[in-house]
């Protein structure tokens, strides 16, 4: 028997309610919000039809902050209270901010847990709070356009944002009253928009140069699957750096010192930005700037000079491009298309240099400002449940390896970089000392073999381990990275089930140079790292052997050894102790071999004595089946 859908005469059958969802591109210079309307992903404008929301927040002595200022004059007249490019501060600590401080006029102050705050007339605000104001404005824009509250959003982040920067973005969304369905890497969002529009299959490079960040990702499109093969980039490189190069040229040409007041410097940055935008379409740009002494300076920047100025900045993006090809294990000739994303890719010089590197003409047919938001909107529409039958699959990757510290200051990597996420990996570890009842789990990020050469993410302690001999306990450490790229770590002692864990939420991010240095150093020092790791492993084994022998001698030395035998063991033990902290692993290895030979008969006697003690007072048939 079949069932029929019955409705009142003249009433159309009910259709599933369309849920309101949006994709948000939270950018350094500008931000956008997009949604799927009538099965078409479109960016949502303000009341005047503007699509881009400047990522600028001005704090006032009284009243609510103003967001998305179109009047750039406030940046010049009130620079300390008009916050722009806040994305560069997300997830960074005070020390990281200080490296950028000379590029911005703001007064940074330290607060709880090392999170920096920006001092304004309205109070001190963290980058998370400033970003939340931008997200609130986008939320209002979307809800007005869609006619009701949002049920969820997808927010894009640079692929090279680390865990701290991703978590800061989620925190900002929570402050703005948004439910985050997923954090989506910006190149992947662009790939969704581009791939679904074009239906292109093969290996693609997504070159994303925004206002403050740069990403390069290699993706394979095949039958609805977007697989990220590798990703690289710089979370503090973008159009702002191009502006800064032009501004330095302007200061020199106009005879204005770098010690000029902040209002003057901000005005120079404003003119630099205008010149950059103009020179994407014209051959020269004229300036008329008032100097601090009141004199008017007039000048002109030719495109050929402009390109010479910015070429070193663009070259900095090509080093990650080389690395990502190597990581993906492909040749540049395997790339079928290059997709350009981000407002800075409008510059002809950028397109020319990228085209020359990849040996093909980059695709620029999709608006580079809108493509990320559109891709996020498509993904949000799927995740909120409007397309339950959609079979599109996203396979993103993590940018840097994750592991824990082991004895000797070594790193045991549980999840290598460029592993597809979401992912869960577990590995068993054991205790180092007899009777050990607790273990500190130190989570690190990076590519080097020593903890000191990597970045510390978090520490937590597993307590309640049953006291056993060294090596008897079994502790399973599990790393889980979710689809947003956020990490949680747990540790469990298997015999008792005692367990503890942590969601890794560091209060600072990687500095501009650290990610590049981590990867470059891992290659430069690969041979040295192997040697150091081998040495440390022998040193740890030597320490373990010394501890075991010392305990055994204390317990049974007098009872089971003659004076001559004890002297031979003491001599071998002293020889190992003498070379244990040296840098000759072969000497340590030989000393351990000598100690093994000297103690072989002692170990056999201890075993026999242990068996004898266990059997004393019992009959043989008590142990038979």
- Determine the Cα–Cα distance for residues 127 and 122; give it in Å rounded to an integer: 15
SS3 content of the chain, % helix, strand, coil (to 5): 40, 25, 35
Catalytic status, residue 87 = yes
- Determine the Cα–Cα distance for residues 504 and 241; give it in Å rounded to an integer: 31
Task: Give me the torsion for CA of 431, 433, 434, 440, rounded to 10°.
Answer: -50
- Determine the Cα–Cα distance for residues 347 and 338; give it in Å rounded to an integer: 16
Say if CB 59 and CB 125 are below 8 A apart. Answer: yes
Give me the phi and psi of 329, to 5 degrees please: 60, 45
Catalytic status, residue 365 = no
Of 129, 133, 162, 186, catalytic: 186
- Residue 208 CA, chain-centre distance (Å), reads 16
Of 25, 162, 267, 449, catalytic: 25
Say if CB 374 and CB 16 are below 8 A apart. Answer: no
Here the tokens at position 500 are: 């503890």
Give me the phi and psi of 449, to 5 degrees please: -85, -25
Q: Pick from 354, 347, 352, 361: which is nearest to 322 by CA? A: 354
Here the tokens at position 603 are: 């170990």
Of 163, 208, 215, 396, catalytic: 208
Catalytic status, residue 234 = no
Measured at the alpha carbon of residue 39, what is the angle toward residues 35 and 43, in degrees to the nearest 5? 30
Angle between helices 563-579 and 585-615 (to 10 degrees): 140
Q: What is the DSSP string of 84-110?
A: E-GGGGTT--HHHHHHHGGGS---EEE
Give me the phi and psi of 401, to 5 degrees please: -65, 150
Sheet holding 402-406, edge to edge: 410-415, 402-406, 438-445, 455-463
Catalytic status, residue 208 = yes
Residues 60-72 as b/e (b if ≥16 CB within 10 A, e otherwise) read: eeeeebbbbbeeb
Q: Would you name the residues annotated as active-site residues?
A: 25, 87, 186, 208
């Amino acid at each position: 028997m079949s069932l029929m859908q019955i409705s009142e005469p003249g009433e159309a059958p009910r259709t599933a309610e369309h849920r309101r969802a949006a994709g948000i591109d939270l950018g350094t210079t500008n931000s956008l919000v997009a949604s799927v309307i009538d099965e078409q992903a479109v960016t949502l404008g303000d009341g005047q039809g503007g699509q881009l929301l400047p990522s600028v927040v001005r704090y006032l002595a009284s009243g609510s902050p103003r967001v998305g200022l179109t009047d750039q004059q406030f940046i010049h007249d009130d620079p300390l209270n008009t916050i722009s490019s806040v994305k560069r501060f997300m997830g960074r600590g005070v020390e990281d901010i200080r490296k950028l401080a000379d590029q911005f006029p703001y007064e940074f102050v330290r607060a709880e847990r090392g999170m920096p705050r920006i001092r304004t007339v309205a109070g001190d605000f963290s980058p998370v709070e400033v970003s939340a104001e931008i997200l609130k404005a986008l939320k209002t824009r979307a809800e007005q356009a869609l006619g009701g509250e949002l049920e969820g959003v997808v927010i894009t982040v640079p692929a090279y944002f680390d865990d701290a920067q991703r978590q800061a973005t989620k925190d900002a969304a929570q402050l703005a009253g948004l439910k985050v369905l997923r954090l989506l890497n910006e190149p992947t969002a662009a790939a969704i928009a581009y791939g679904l529009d074009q239906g292109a299959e093969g290996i693609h490079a997504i070159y994303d140069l925004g206002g403050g960040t740069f990403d390069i990702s290699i993706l394979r499109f095949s039958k609805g699957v977007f697989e990220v093969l590798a990703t690289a980039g710089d979370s503090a490189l973008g159009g702002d750096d191009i502006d800064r190069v032009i501004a330095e040229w302007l200061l020199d040409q106009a005879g204005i010192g770098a010690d000029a007041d902040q209002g003057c410097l901000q005005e120079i940055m404003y003119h630099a930005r205008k010149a950059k935008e103009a020179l994407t379409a014209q051959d020269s740009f004229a300036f008329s700037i008032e100097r601090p002494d009141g004199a008017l300076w007039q000048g002109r920047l030719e495109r050929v000079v402009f390109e010479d100025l910015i070429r070193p900045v663009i070259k900095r993006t090509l080093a990650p491009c080389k690395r990502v090809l190597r990581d993906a294990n492909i040749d540049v000739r395997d790339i079928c298309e290059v997709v350009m994303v981000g407002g800075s890719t409008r510059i002809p010089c950028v397109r020319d240099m990228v085209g020359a590197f990849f040996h093909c003409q980059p695709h620029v047919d999709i608006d580079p400002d809108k493509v990320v938001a559109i891709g996020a909107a498509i993904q949000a529409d799927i995740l909120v449940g409007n397309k339950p039958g959609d079979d599109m699959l996203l396979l993103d990757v993590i940018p840097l390896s994750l592991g824990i510290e082991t004895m000797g200051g070594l790193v045991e990597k549980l999840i290598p970089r460029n592993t597809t996420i979401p992912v869960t990996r577990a590995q068993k570890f054991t205790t180092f000392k007899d009777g050990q009842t607790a273990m500190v789990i130190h989570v690190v990020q990076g590519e080097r073999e020593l903890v000191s050469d990597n970045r510390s993410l978090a520490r937590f302690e597993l307590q309640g381990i049953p006291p056993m001999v060294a090596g008897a306990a079994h502790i399973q450490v599990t790393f889980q990275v979710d689809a947003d790229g956020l990490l949680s770590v747990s540790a469990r002692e298997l015999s008792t089930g005692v367990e503890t864990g942590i969601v890794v939420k560091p209060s600072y991010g990687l500095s501009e140079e650290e990610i590049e240095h981590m990867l470059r150093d891992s290659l430069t020092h690969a041979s040295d790292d192997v040697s150091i790791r081998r040495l440390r492993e022998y040193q740890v084994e030597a320490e373990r052997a010394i501890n075991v022998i010392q305990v055994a001698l204390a317990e049974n030395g007098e009872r089971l050894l003659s004076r001559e035998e004890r002297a031979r063991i003491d001599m071998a033990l002293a020889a190992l102790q003498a070379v244990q902290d040296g840098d000759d692993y072969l000497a340590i290895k030989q000393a351990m071999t000598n100690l093994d030979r000297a103690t072989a008969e002692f170990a056999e006697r201890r075993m026999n004595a242990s068996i004898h003690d266990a059997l004393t007072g019992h009959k043989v048939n008590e142990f038979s089946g």
